[in-house]
């Protein structure tokens, strides 16, 4: 009976993925680039990076309810709800802003390596780590005090990460096409392995039940790997321009956000990983977050002006985002 129920749920989730679509667009507006976003499902908040600020959205009303200002070149945010703290990685300022999660007021700053990109909090150690793209290292500091504990060299450019909240994290190394395992207790890299068939891995998510990592790559593939064995277990086609991936533990689905204007849904079925659905989105929607409570997906993007024609022998110019058109797509 258990196997029958599991297979029924699997079939239902695959069918649901095929039916997913944009259900609303949360208008945020203003100018500037964007990167990661993060859902605090318990607090019903969505944190969206936007150039010099983090915009805070109520996910139930889909209304902007606040912002964290003066975060120059912000990439992402990590949360430590038990101590009421949030941490933003400010790429242009080479620092982290520490905020009070209730008031969104700044309570401190931490100097990091160059161009802090992804950022993560580990509950066991009560430490935060920034993954610094330009200096190719990680800055580890105490969440309570902001005191820097260590700098971890990666030997390559770190991208997105996932952690088990027990002292371990895994991070894509973009320019060496690897995954590095990080021990935050001892502040060092303990393992690394190559993502064969992957060029420039960026977004990373993890299925902790199956102990598999999903990495999205610049050459239009998703690589699934086993970090314990240090090997690739699957390679799947996705759309172009992927920069983010999210995993839903409730449905077992991994979603790649492809900047070309699609989401690729991947699931484990009949003993192997398969593409379950391709969901249309919008151009520029390249990063993603998921609310595990509602299973909704959130992707930031904007409206674009038509791209100018390419000069002879040249690549086409990138289109320009229209003023005040920044938004977050909601997919369900």
Please determine, for residue 265, whether its predicted confidence score (pLDDT) is greater than 80: yes
CATH number of 2-331: 2.130.10.10
Q: Quick one: average pLDDT of 239-253?
A: 97
- Cβ(37)–Cβ(47) under 8 Å? yes
Q: Quick one: average pLDDT of 92-103?
A: 98
Positive or negative torsion for Cα 87, 40, 91, 70: negative
> Which pLDDT belongs to residue 317?
73
By mean pLDDT, which of 12-26, 193-207, 283-297 is the weakest? 12-26
By mean pLDDT, which of 41-50, 243-252, 309-318 is the weakest? 309-318
Mean pLDDT score of the chain: 94
Cα 242 from Cα 121, distance rounded (Å): 24
CA angle 215, 220, 224 (to 5 degrees): 30
> Which pLDDT belongs to residue 6?
47
Please determine, for residue 245, whether its predicted confidence score (pLDDT) is greater than 90: yes
Please state whether beta strands 262-269 and 253-258 pair in parallel, antiparallel, or not at all (unpaired). antiparallel
89: closest CA among 161, 40, 30, 153? Answer: 161
DSSP 286: -
Positive or negative torsion for Cα 292, 50, 162, 244: positive
> Which pLDDT belongs to residue 2?
46
> Which pLDDT belongs to residue 13?
55
Instruction: pLDDT band for 14, please (50, 70, 90 cuts).
Output: low
Please determine, for residue 194, whether its predicted confidence score (pLDDT) is greater than 60: yes
Q: 3-state DSSP helix/strand/coil percent for the chain, to nearest 5?
A: 5, 50, 40
Instruction: pLDDT band for 81, please (50, 70, 90 cuts).
Output: very high
Please determine, for residue 196, whether its predicted confidence score (pLDDT) is greater than 50: yes
Cα 46 from Cα 299, distance rounded (Å): 11
Q: pLDDT over 90 for what percent of the chain?
A: 90
Please determine, for residue 32, whether its predicted confidence score (pLDDT) is greater than 70: yes
Q: Which residues contact 54 (CB under 8 A, 6 or more apart)?
A: 47, 48, 67, 68, 71, 74, 77, 88
CA angle 103, 142, 176 (to 5 degrees): 110
Please determine, for residue 29, whether its predicted confidence score (pLDDT) is greater than 70: yes
> Which pLDDT belongs to residue 310?
72
Q: pLDDT over 70 for what percent of the chain?
A: 95
Q: How many residues does the chain have?
A: 332
Cα 117 from Cα 138, distance rounded (Å): 10
> Which pLDDT belongs to residue 129?
98
CA angle 299, 261, 174 (to 5 degrees): 75
First to last CA, the chain: 29
Q: Quick one: average pLDDT of 107-133?
A: 98
Please determine, for residue 8, whether its predicted confidence score (pLDDT) is greater than 50: no
Cα 34 from Cα 111, distance rounded (Å): 22
Q: Quick one: average pLDDT of 269-295?
A: 97
Neighbouring CB atoms inside 10 A of 68's CB total: 23
């Amino acid at each position: 009976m258990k196997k029958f129920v599991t297979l029924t749920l699997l079939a239902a989730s695959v069918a649901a993925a095929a039916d997913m679509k944009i259900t609303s667009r949360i208008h945020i507006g203003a100018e500037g680039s964007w990167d990661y976003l993060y859902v605090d499902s318990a607090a019903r908040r969505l944190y969206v990076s936007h150039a010099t600020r983090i915009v805070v959205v109520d996910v139930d009303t889909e209304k902007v309810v606040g912002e964290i200002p003066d975060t120059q070149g912000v990439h992402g945010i990590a949360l430590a709800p038990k101590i009421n703290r949030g941490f933003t990685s400010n790429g242009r300022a080479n620092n982290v802003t520490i905020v009070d999660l209730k008031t969104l007021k700044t309570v401190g700053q931490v100097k990091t390596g160059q161009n802090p990109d992804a950022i993560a909090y580990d509950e066991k150690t009560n430490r935060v780590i920034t993954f610094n793209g330009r200096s190719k290292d990680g800055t580890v500091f105490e969440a309570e005090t902001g005191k820097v504990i260590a700098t971890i060299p990666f030997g390559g450019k770190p991208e997105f990460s996932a952690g088990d909240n027990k002292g371990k994290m895994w991070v894509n190394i973009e320019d060496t096409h690897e995954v590095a395992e990080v021990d935050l207790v001892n502040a060092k890299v303990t393992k690394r392995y190559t993502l064969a068939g992957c060029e420039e891995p960026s977004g990373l998510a993890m299925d902790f039940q199956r102990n598999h990592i999903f990495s999205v790559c610049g050459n239009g593939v998703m690589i699934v790997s086993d970090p314990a064995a240090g090997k690739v277990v699957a390679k799947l086609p996705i759309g172009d321009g992927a920069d983010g991936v999210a995993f839903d533990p409730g449905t077992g689905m991994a979603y790649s956000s492809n900047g070309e204007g699609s989401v690729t849904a991947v699931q484990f079925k009949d003993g192997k990983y398969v593409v379950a659905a391709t969901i249309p989105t919008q151009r520029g929607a390249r990063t993603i977050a998921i609310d595990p409570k509602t299973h909704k997906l959130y992707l930031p993007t904007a409206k674009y002006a038509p791209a100018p024609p390419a000069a002879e022998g040249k690549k086409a110019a990138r289109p320009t985002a229209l003023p005040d058109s920044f938004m977050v797509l909601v997919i369900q």
